[in-house]
C-alpha cells in the first residue's frame, strides 16, 4: 500500500511560495503548494477534501497541478496522465478535423472516429470549442 507523507509548511515559508506554485489561488486563499515531488501526490489525495471548491474548480486544480508537475519534472497520478493524454489526443483530433471558419456561438457537429461531438464555438481565430454533448455514431 502506498503511503503519502503530508508535510507541514510554516506560514512564513508558505508566504514565500509564489502563486504559480499553488494548485489553487483565489484572493487570499492559496491551496495545494508544490515545492517537492511528494507535494503533488499529497495534493491529489486532498483535492476531494478541500471545502468550498466546485467540481469545475477541482478539475482546474488538477490541470494546474499537472502543469506545475511537468514544469518541475515531478511525477503525477497515473489516472491524471491517462485523462490528460486522452484530452490532448481528442483536442488534436478535433483541431485536425476543423477545416472551416465559425462564428461565436455557432453550434457545430463533428465526427471523430465513432463519436459525434456537438461543439459550441467559444473563441475566434484559434477555434476554441467546448464539448457540450457526445453520442455514439453507428
Q: What's the pLDDT at 113?
A: 61
Q: What's the pLDDT at 121?
A: 58
**With helix as H, strand as E and coil as C, how does 56-98 read?**
HHHHHHHHHHHHHHHHHCCCCCHHHHHHHHHHHHHHHHHHHHC
Domain of 99, in residue numbers: 79-136
| Rounded Cα gap, residues 28 and 42, in angstroms | 21
On the question of pLDDT at 117 being above 90, the answer is: no
CATH number of the domain enclosing 112: 2.40.240
Q: What's the pLDDT at 136?
A: 45
Number of domains forming the structure of the chain: 2
> Residues 28, 55: one domain?
yes
> Residues 85, 123: one domain?
yes
Q: What's the pLDDT at 37?
A: 92
On the question of pLDDT at 111 being above 70, the answer is: no
The model carries a pTM of 0.59
> Residues 72, 128: one domain?
no
For the stretch 30-85, pLDDT in tens is: 999 999 999 999 999 999 888 999 988 998 999 999 999 999 999 988 888 776 56
On the question of pLDDT at 132 being above 50, the answer is: no
On the question of pLDDT at 100 being above 90, the answer is: no
> Residues 132, 85: one domain?
yes
78 vs 29, higher pLDDT: 29
3 falls within a domain:
no
Amino acid at each position: 500500500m502506498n503511503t503519502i507523507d503530508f508535510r507541514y509548511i510554516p506560514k512564513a515559508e508558505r508566504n514565500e511560495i509564489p502563486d504559480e506554485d499553488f494548485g489553487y489561488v483565489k484572493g487570499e486563499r492559496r491551496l495545494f503548494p508544490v515545492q517537492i515531488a511528494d507535494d503533488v501526490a499529497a495534493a491529489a489525495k486532498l483535492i476531494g477534501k478541500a471545502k468550498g471548491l466546485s467540481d469545475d474548480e477541482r478539475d482546474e486544480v488538477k490541470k494546474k497541478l499537472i502543469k506545475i508537475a511537468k514544469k518541475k519534472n515531478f511525477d503525477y497520478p497515473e489516472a491524471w496522465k491517462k485523462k490528460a493524454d486522452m484530452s490532448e489526443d481528442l483536442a488534436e483530433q478535433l483541431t485536425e478535423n476543423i477545416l472551416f471558419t465559425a462564428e461565436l456561438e455557432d453550434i457545430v457537429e463533428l465526427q471523430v472516429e465513432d463519436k459525434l461531438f456537438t461543439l459550441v464555438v467559444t473563441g475566434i481565430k484559434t477555434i476554441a470549442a467546448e464539448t457540450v454533448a457526445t453520442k455514439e455514431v453507428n
